[in-house]
């Protein structure tokens, strides 16, 4: 196969025809390979252009695409570069972003520069992040103003609370929940004066937990579903091999399963970030279409490598996914029963 971009038109055409003959035998599919989730509707389609958008409201903010950069790292050497690149992307393409856990700032404000990215986002939403284990401690110490301070000093528009019992259990130096997260959340929410989102970190949640969250005065839920980055597995790789815990790595709920649970529950005006293993925009489009509520697609680990490299790599990564998302939206209709 040849790269023929700089050749004259007639030669390019001839080369392309040559490629087709050479590759035809390798380019065969069988009927079982078809993606059964979508109706393919080419008659209504135009290719997205550089100015195509998918305007979306989320918690009162205006986004140009239904895409959220899910909470990632903080408190490490590379965090500043990663967060700055991610924030710049959100500012340029009008997305929203969750910071990684801001726990380190509770004790040490010298790390604030790693999280101080609001000026790069402009009017786009930025949410601080804390684990329910820290909230449990702060509730017990009657020190919740420290959490409100985290939101203030990072200039965040709200707070994401992660609920991660399995990660903590597998983490060699992990915290233990002595109070159920639901109770900790209830105590915390009495004093929160900003929007709160609750999430898992890669295991998802079952219907009882979702129902309990929907009854709380929170703004939204991020799924943090099973099927992508798995922090229980990650922590198990860091610690001792522990046979008695082995099977727990595989428990949880996929994003698709959680969307099904949510659609059967009273959603009470909550908004959602569909995350956890959403690395393809086909999945993103499918899940956004299925959920009967206002929602964004959230991705974490997929953004990590390009964000760590440099801004241009991150931008190219996003532009490719943006095109795929807009193409999926315009070309594919999700089948009700698939
Ligand atoms: C490097 C890394 C760090 C993360 N740190 C946090 C964190 O501090 N707080 C949090 O709520 N989730 C954290 N997450 C979890 C993600 O927000 C997300 O829920 C999870 O990775 C599943 O999404 P994915 O499959 O797109 O990676 C982290 C994920 C990654 C990859």
- CA-CA-CA-CA torsion sign (251, 303, 54, 161): positive
- The pLDDT tens digits along the chain (338 residues) read 545 667 788 888 888 888 888 888 888 889 999 999 999 999 999 999 999 999 999 999 999 999 999 999 766 778 999 999 999 999 999 999 999 999 999 988 999 999 999 999 999 999 999 999 999 999 999 999 999 999 999 999 999 999 999 999 998 889 999 999 999 999 999 999 999 999 999 999 999 999 999 999 999 999 999 999 988 888 888 877 777 888 999 999 999 999 999 999 999 999 999 999 998 999 999 999 999 999 999 999 999 999 999 999 999 999 999 999 999 999 999 998 77
The reported pLDDT for the residue numbered 22 is 82
256 near 288, Cβ under 8 Å?
no
Interatomic CA distance for residues 234 and 285, integer angstroms: 28
Q: CB within 6 Å of ligand 1 — which residues?
A: 70-73, 100-101, 129, 162, 199, 201-202, 224, 228-229, 275-277, 299-302, 304
Residue nearest to atom 31 of ligand 1 (CA): 301
Please list, in sequence order, all residues whose beta carbon lies within 8 angstroms of the beta carbon of residue 26, skipping any fewer than 6 positions away: none
Distance of CA 306 to the CA centre of its chain: 15
The reported pLDDT for the residue numbered 172 is 85
The reported pLDDT for the residue numbered 234 is 86
Cα distances (Å, whole numbers) of residue 273 to 78, 136, 189: 25, 24, 20
Closest atom of ligand 1 to 164 CA is 11
CA neighbor of 93 nearest in space, from 133, 120, 115: 120
Residue nearest to atom 14 of ligand 1 (CA): 72
Closest atom of ligand 1 to 103 CA is 8
Centre of ligand 1 to C-alpha 49, Å, is 31
The reported pLDDT for the residue numbered 318 is 98
Interatomic CA distance for residues 249 and 235, integer angstroms: 10
Residue nearest to atom 4 of ligand 1 (CA): 72
| Tokens linked to 86 | 């991610």
Centre of ligand 1 to C-alpha 202, Å, is 7
Closest atom of ligand 1 to 162 CA is 11
90 near 124, Cβ under 8 Å?
yes
The reported pLDDT for the residue numbered 291 is 98
Interatomic CA distance for residues 328 and 39, integer angstroms: 11
Domains of the chain with CATH codes: 56-334 (3.20.20.70)
SS3 content of the chain, % helix, strand, coil (to 5): 45, 15, 40
């Amino acid at each position: 196969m040849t790269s023929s971009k700089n050749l004259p038109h007639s030669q390019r055409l001839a080369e392309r025809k040559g490629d087709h003959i050479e590759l035809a035998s390798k380019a065969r599919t069988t009927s079982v390979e078809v993606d059964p989730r979508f109706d393919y509707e080419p008659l209504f389609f135009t290719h997205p252009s550089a100015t195509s958008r998918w305007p979306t409201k989320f918690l009162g903010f205006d986004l140009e695409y239904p895409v959220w950069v899910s909470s990632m790292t903080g408190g490490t050497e590379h965090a500043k570069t990663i967060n700055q690149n991610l924030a710049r992307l959100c500012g340029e393409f009008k997305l929203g972003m969750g910071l990684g856990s801001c726990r380190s700032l509770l004790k040490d404000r010298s790390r604030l520069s790693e999280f101080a990215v609001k000026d790069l986002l402009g009017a786009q939403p930025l949410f601080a992040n804390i684990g329910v284990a820290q909230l449990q401690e702060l509730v017990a110490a009657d020190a919740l103003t420290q959490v409100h301070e985290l939101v203030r000093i990072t200039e965040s528009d709200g707070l994401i609370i992660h609920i991660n019992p399995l990660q903590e259990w597998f983490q060699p130096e992990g915290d233990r929940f002595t109070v159920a997260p639901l109770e900790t959340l209830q105590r915390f929410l009495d004093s929160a004066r900003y929007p709160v989102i609750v999430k898992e970190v890669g295991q998802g949640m079952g219907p009882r937990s979702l129902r309990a969250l929907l009854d709380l005065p929170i703004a939204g839920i991020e799924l943090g579903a099973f099927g992508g980055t798995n922090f229980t597995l990650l922590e198990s790789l860091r610690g001792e091999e522990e046979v008695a815990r082995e099977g727990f790595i595989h428990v949880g709920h996929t994003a698709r399963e959680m969307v099904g649970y949510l659609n059967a529950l009273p959603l009470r005006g909550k908004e959602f970030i569909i995350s956890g293993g959403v690395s393809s925009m086909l999945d993103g489009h499918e899940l956004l279409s299925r959920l009967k509520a206002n929602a964004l697609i959230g991705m974490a680990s997929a953004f990590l490598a390009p964000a760590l490299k440099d801004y241009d790599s991150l931008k190219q990564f996003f532009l490719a996914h943006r095109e795929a998302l807009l193409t999926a939206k315009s070309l594919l209709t999700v089948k009700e029963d698939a």
